[in-house]
Amino acid sequence: MNGINSVHFIGIGGAGMSGLAKILIQKGVKVSGSDLSDSKYVERLIQMGAQVKIGHHEDNVPESCDLVVISSAIPVSNPEISRARAMGIRIIKRGALLGELMKLQKGIAVAGAHGKTTTSSMIALILEDAGHDPTIVVGGELCNLCSNAKLGKGEYLVAEADESDGSFLELFPEIAMVTNIEDDHLDYYGSMESIINAFQQYINQIPPGGTAFIGIDDEIARKLKAPQNRKLKYYGLQDSSDFVAKNLLFNAAGSSSDIYYQNKFLGKLELTITGKHNIINALGALGVAMEAGVGFHEAITALKKFKGVERRFQLLGHEKNVKVVDDYAHHPTEIRATLEAARQAHKGRVVAVFQPHRYSRTKQLYHEFGNSFSDADFVVITDIYAAGEKAIPGISGELIFQEAKRRFPDKKIVYKGYDDLIDFLHKTTKAGDLILTLGAGDIWKKGKELIHVLGE
């Protein structure tokens, strides 16, 4: 980062982009940026001194700019990219900037199809609580810190590693984790083999003396190999793992489990969040934190304080004995895990309201989506959130609806337009229901709106 005094972010309002912008501002770099819409991330950056424009225009790029950072969602036709090229300004992706920052500290990076935001947030909280003062860059709002990023003076940088566009291969962390591997982002990789090869390269980039942490419960991830002179440790529910969680218990207040390391009992882990997947996430975070020098009891004390991550099984509110919870789950595996957690924590009816994310993902996985609602009592499928994609003829939320009806003929499953959701849910919701809004789009807005309507 030497010689970089002014950086412009195209798409500055994203969770990952805004976090990096915040770190640079805290380092004394002049930051500007643009985004299509306002958001709390944009407002925070403005309050910190960033110059942010709503909308993309070539005039947004400052004359004094040294570097332009783009997210994977920004097309090459963007007028600000064209302007930066004409000005001869270096343009890099978000992952490359994260890689540059990671060179300044010891990196801890969490990659995987699912669980990386929660797991990296847990690691960050443990190190922060133990006084290690890490730099933190995660893909969601860590509720304990009310932020997605902070500049620390300690030796570690904790980051969520994004595999969606291959940008995690810009990272060379001392400690690298892979939670799991699935056939997501095939639009970028083209094949499952390419996805696996990318994750193997990510592990290969750990420097000598570093450590790889692999989720053993994932049959693809556990086949990854660590290069010579790197340690390889497994975590999960299988007895052959280094870090193992046993005797899992769940209730409305959270969850607990007994933790073992190489067959030695270490103690009990208690969380205020529920779900088997979150115990596994916490187990991985615990292992990484101990590898970074935090004691077991320090780590579990911090994890007991973990309040979760925004849009990860987040309670939006409750009215008329109805709870409304929101979750970012946008892949079949994530939906199954979230609904399983809801079933473990809630005794009443579980109502899943799913907004599919991206036409391409729906086209690739609509069969799997349709089969992911076994733990819901009532399922509502709505329109696809495009996330900037162009519509694909014949691809809609109705594909998932039809598949779910075929898989679960005895369940109540309906297909409703996004604009009709609130009226429908208001009429069909019953006292004792848990309404669970699911998806990476803006379905959470409908959850908040429903609370307001129920309150009236």
Cα 358 to chain centroid distance, Å, stands at 16
At residue 98's C-alpha, the angle toward residues 113 and 208, to 5°, is 80
Per the DSSP assignment, residues forming a β-bridge with 340 are none
Secondary structure letter of residue 367 according to DSSP: H
Buried-state track 204-221, b at ≥16 Cβ within 10 A, e below 16: bbbeeebbbbbbbbbebb
Tell me which amino acid residue 99 is.
G
Catalytic pick from 80, 141, 160, 310?
160
Reduced DSSP (H G I as helix, E B as strand, rest coil) percent helix, strand, coil of the chain, to 5: 35, 25, 40
How many other β-carbons are positioned within 10 Å of the β-carbon of residue 202?
25
Distance in angstroms (rounded) separating the CA atoms of residues 163 and 111: 7
**Alpha carbon separation from 132 to 125, 126, 286 (Å, rounded):** 10, 9, 15
Give the start-end residues of each E strand in 334-383.
350-354, 378-381
* Residue 160 appears among annotated catalytic residues: yes
Q: Are strands 156-160 and 106-111 parallel, antiparallel or unpaired?
A: parallel
Query: End-to-end CA distance of the chain, in Å?
Result: 53
Sign, Cα dihedral of 60, 66, 72, 78: positive
* Orientation of helix 443-455 relative to helix 421-428, angle to 10°: 50
Structure tokens at 40: 């709390």
Distance in angstroms (rounded) separating the CA atoms of residues 94 and 10: 10
Q: Are strands 6-10 and 67-70 parallel, antiparallel or unpaired?
A: parallel
**Alpha carbon separation from 246 to 301, 357, 419 (Å, rounded):** 18, 35, 45
* Residue 264 appears among annotated catalytic residues: no
Per the DSSP assignment, residues forming a β-bridge with 325 are 315, 436
Secondary structure letter of residue 372 according to DSSP: S
Catalytic pick from 80, 117, 233, 429?
117
* Residue 305 appears among annotated catalytic residues: no
Catalytic pick from 116, 150, 323, 416?
116
Q: Which residues are part of the catalytic machinery?
A: 116-117, 160
